[in-house]
Structure 1
Amino acid sequence: MDDSESRYPDNRWLILGVMSLSLVIVMLNNVTLNVALPNLSTSLGADNSELQWIMDAYALVFGGTLLVMGALGDRFGRKGALQIGLVIVGTASAWTAFFADSSTDVILARATMGLGAALVMPSTLSVVLVVFPPNERGKAIGIWAAMAGIGAPIGLLVGGWAVENYNWEMAFLINVPVILIALIAGAIIVPRSKDEQQRPLDGGGAILSVLVLGSLLYGIIEGPSQGWTDIRVVGAFAIFIITILLFVYSQKKVEYPLLPLEFFKDKRFTIGLIAISMAFFVMFSFMFMQMLHFQLVRGHSPLSAAIRFLPLPLGLMPAAANSDRLVAKFGRPNVISTGLCLVALGLFLFTQVNIDTSYPQIAATFFLLGLGIGLTMAPSTTAVMDSIPESKAGVGSATNDSSREVGGALGIAIGGSVLNEIYQSTIVIPASASAKSSIIQESFPAAMTIGQQMLAAGNPDGALLIASARESFIEGMVGACVVAAIVALLAAIIVKLKMPDDDIDPEE
């Protein structure tokens, strides 16, 4: 080992293992509860609005505080931020599993878990950045990105297993032993690191960043359900525009900005963020639709539906983990744009799916999507992290994570809106169900339930309603896939034309 590498710990690959485990915990929390919502709703008597807030509370607090928490890790210590975050998530999970007896309890717990997760996620990537030498970072970040990508599908699998074998509380309780392992391992082997120059925290920028990200995510998340012209949604976007302008102004004026704007002058940083955001746009949009597709159209249980996602992470993991070799041979822009093109190809192939399509054909499409997302996420994340100094590793990681959150939220919002628009315009409602036409048009799951109730009551029109609802959902899903494919193609073009090649020294 030469002198330049002697400052990096010898056990850095073990450290990466702990960071990957901690990262998976965050990703699990993001999606595990989705599968448990029907069970939770019945147990706690939660209405649709409360269920929405149970999901949104985590996403809003997590996404809104990412930049602040990343900055706190840089300023006061990344290991400490990681450990505190894990304690918060673990404590909130255990409390919910044992003591929560109302939807309000769960909403508050989910918000608390989001705060803890915002401490954990930026810390994982920033620690990876500072413990690996530049020549190994591509490989290490590729593995980190692979774990970030497979966390969501694993979360669906864990959630399905918990609900089918236990109850909704297990979706929370299962976090606790995993968090304990990560806490103990982290306390033993993860080194301390922080900004050695002890720059003061930009308090004004921190507050504005919460308002910027929180209002943007609120508008995106609530738009499909409340309506894009709803006063609350419009107000959220108005707050976003005002606060983003104030944030940019403050970052130009303050001596020690929270997020130095010169980062955005580096195309590795900006184009990398765009590619990551678009990859998660596609991934979360697709996963959102497929859980409904497998459960309500094809009649699978939550666990069985989650198992059918496995080809996606099986394609994603090796692609992300080995993408550094492809980057070294073909160049970063070529690898990322190829990955996005594979994503677009997979989505266009998925437009050929109908109710009678066999699972092997669907699985092959999932595998292709996984390959494309893996080739996109890992090199894009490396590009972002290569472009920032180690002293700002936490903020850089948080910016990377924020792009994932915004992209994923946009994917669900836009994909869901396209699906709903096509579903509502194509479904045929039998005359005997016209009294419930409003709820049938508003909700595909409700249409399926009403159709089953009609059949149980001896009304054969129930079968017609179920068949029409399934066909309309498939049409909407195909339309949403076309939109996501176009987004992926546009991102591929941007990356190919604008992303600088790898002849730039990351230490410059």
Structure 2
Amino acid sequence: MSHSILECVMTPPLDPRRWVVLAILSGSLLLIAMDTTILNVAFPSLVSDLQPSSVQQLWIIDVYALALSGLLVTAGALGDRWGRKRLLLAGFAIFALASLMAVFATEAWQVIAARALLGVGGAAIMPSTLSILRDVFTDARERALAYAVWAAVFGGGMALGPVVGGLLVERNGWQSAFLINIPVALAIIAFGAWMLPESRQRREGRWDWWGVGQSIVGMLALAGGIKQLGKGGPTDPVAWTLLVVAAVALTIFVRRQLRLPQPLLHVRLFTNRSFSIAAASIFLGMIALGSALFLVTQWFQYGQGYSPLEAGIRLLPAPLGLVVTSLVAPVLMHRLPIRHVIGGGLLLMTAGLALPWLFQQSGPLAYLGLPWRSACSAAVSASRPRPRR
């Protein structure tokens, strides 16, 4: 009996607002995820209207992800010091401002600048949502479910972006793909300021400006080098120059973080095999889902002549599959060995990506396997380490 009493005392109380907080954070993440793919269906209309050069077209597509990836580490550390709620709301203010800039853009460079600023806002928002969820959901089982919902919303938002974007673009032009962000961002700022709890992690010492610079340079060079390699091929000197810069900057960054008592990024987390496998699985799954959705959306419009809405509708199996599997994955995670759950998800994803080659066509059936892997890997990352079976 004394053991039960001690356990109750040591267990932190459940936050009564936790499900409302999950709803607000899911709505915020949905907006970020949709913005990564909503431009896919709006892109042909934008190109027809603004007539950007081929280089400008590449920057319009890529600059959002470049800014987002380059600033994630810095934004996460800044939220620990400044306050995650405060950073989240600031990120949405930036997001709304950048969307307004894109709506009134009349030149390609203005859209590029707006997309870069959207990436800055997204980088402030994404790590804050996960950190706040972890603080609010103190029960391990509820936290796993919350993280699975987080992954489902992110993947579903990526898949729903073309559908929503197609409906808006057909009726109101490409500017509407950005205009939708503004009222949603303002609503999240209002509800978030009222309902979200503030959380931070006390960090001693000065802000590591050198680490910030190294991480930004390294991530931007890495992303840019990979993109340039795909564009120019393995003989492109620019691509290899960027990759060398990335390797040097990130190596210096990692070695520096290992020496600091209060690092921007706890690199030693990646020595935990379960954490590394879960992180790599989520990373690869998001790459597969995002690239497949982009390429197929363009093929539907340019190759098959579908309208933006028709192209978006043909991608609906992805969000539907993701919603279903995000609910199933946490249950399976508690009943089966985690390696079986994530392995089954990877097999389903492989089948989904292989179907176009097997059937010599890219029908909607080919994308049923994409969402499962994202949901189950997020559930794995949210779970506690378990003994091997």
Shorter-normalised TM-score: what interval? Answer: over 0.9
Q: 2:106 aligns with which of 94, 101, 105?
A: 101
Q: Which has the higher contact order (CA 8 A, sep 6+)?
A: 2
Matches within 5 A, 1:461-476: none
- Cα distance, 1:198 vs structure 2: 4.8
**Aligned partners of 1:74, 1:197: CA distance in 2, in Å?**
8
| Unaligned ranges ≥5, structure 2 | 1-6
- Cα distance, 1:260 vs structure 2: 2.0
User: Structure 2 vs 1, CA of residues 369 and 40 (structure 1 numbering), >3 Å: closer, same or farther?
Assistant: closer
Match of 1:378 in 2: 378
Q: 1:185 aligns with which of 163, 187, 191?
A: 191
What CA deviation, in whole Å up to 9, does each residue of 1:394-430 have, x standing for no partner? xxxxxxxxxxxxxxxxxxxxxxxxxxxxxxxxxxxxx
Q: Does 1:79 align with 2:85?
A: yes
Matches within 5 A, 1:43-442: 43-98=49-104, 100-133=105-138, 134-198=140-204, 200-354=206-360, 362-375=363-376, 377-383=377-383
**Aligned partners of 1:46, 1:95: CA distance in 2, in Å?**
17
**Aligned partners of 2:148, 2:368: CA distance in 1, in Å?**
18
**Aligned partners of 2:91, 2:204: CA distance in 1, in Å?**
22
Q: Does 1:21 align with 2:22?
A: no
- Cα distance, 1:2 vs structure 2: 4.1
**Aligned partners of 2:203, 2:251: CA distance in 1, in Å?**
29
- Cα distance, 1:224 vs structure 2: 2.0
**Aligned partners of 2:157, 2:169: CA distance in 1, in Å?**
18
**Aligned partners of 1:353, 1:234: CA distance in 2, in Å?**
36
CA contact (8 A) 1:75 1:201 kept: no
Secondary structure (helix, strand or coil) at the match of 2:262 reads: coil
Secondary structure (helix, strand or coil) at the match of 1:322 reads: helix
**Aligned partners of 2:303, 2:341: CA distance in 1, in Å?**
36
**Aligned partners of 1:106, 1:227: CA distance in 2, in Å?**
27
What CA deviation, in whole Å up to 9, does each residue of 1:349-402 have, x standing for no partner? 3322235x8xxxx33332233334433x3224315xx5xxxxxxxxxxxxxxxx
**Aligned partners of 1:314, 1:287: CA distance in 2, in Å?**
14
Match of 1:503 in 2: 387
User: Structure 2 vs 1, CA of residues 354 and 262 (structure 1 numbering), >3 Å: closer, same or farther?
Assistant: closer
- Cα distance, 1:196 vs structure 2: 3.4
**Aligned partners of 1:328, 1:139: CA distance in 2, in Å?**
11
TM-score scaled by length of structure 1: 0.71
Larger Rg: 1
Which amino acid counterpart does residue 244 of structure 1 have in structure 2? Answer: L
CA contact (8 A) 2:80 2:203 kept: no
What CA deviation, in whole Å up to 9, does each residue of 1:208-239 have, x standing for no partner? 11111111011112222233432321111010
**Aligned partners of 1:282, 1:44: CA distance in 2, in Å?**
30
**Aligned partners of 2:271, 2:218: CA distance in 1, in Å?**
21
Which amino acid counterpart does residue 379 of structure 1 have in structure 2? Answer: A
Which amino acid counterpart does residue 369 of structure 2 have in structure 1? Answer: L
**Aligned partners of 2:12, 2:259: CA distance in 1, in Å?**
38
**Aligned partners of 2:46, 2:295: CA distance in 1, in Å?**
21
TM-score scaled by length of structure 2: 0.92
CA contact (8 A) 1:150 1:313 kept: yes
CA RMSD, aligned part only?
2.0
Match of 1:38 in 2: 44
- Cα distance, 1:30 vs structure 2: 1.3
Which amino acid counterpart does residue 266 of structure 2 have in structure 1? Answer: P
What CA deviation, in whole Å up to 9, does each residue of 1:56-86 have, x standing for no partner? 2211111101100011001110000100000
CA contact (8 A) 1:71 1:201 kept: no
**Aligned partners of 2:162, 2:89: CA distance in 1, in Å?**
25
User: Structure 2 vs 1, CA of residues 232 and 69 (structure 1 numbering), >3 Å: closer, same or farther?
Assistant: same
**Aligned partners of 1:50, 1:292: CA distance in 2, in Å?**
17
**Aligned partners of 1:320, 1:200: CA distance in 2, in Å?**
40
What CA deviation, in whole Å up to 9, does each residue of 1:99-131 have, x standing for no partner? x22111111111111111100011111111110
User: Structure 2 vs 1, CA of residues 353 and 294 (structure 1 numbering), >3 Å: closer, same or farther?
Assistant: farther
- Cα distance, 1:255 vs structure 2: 2.2
Which amino acid counterpart does residue 304 of structure 1 have in structure 2? Answer: E
- Cα distance, 1:348 vs structure 2: 2.9
Secondary structure (helix, strand or coil) at the match of 1:324 reads: helix
**Aligned partners of 2:351, 2:108: CA distance in 1, in Å?**
42
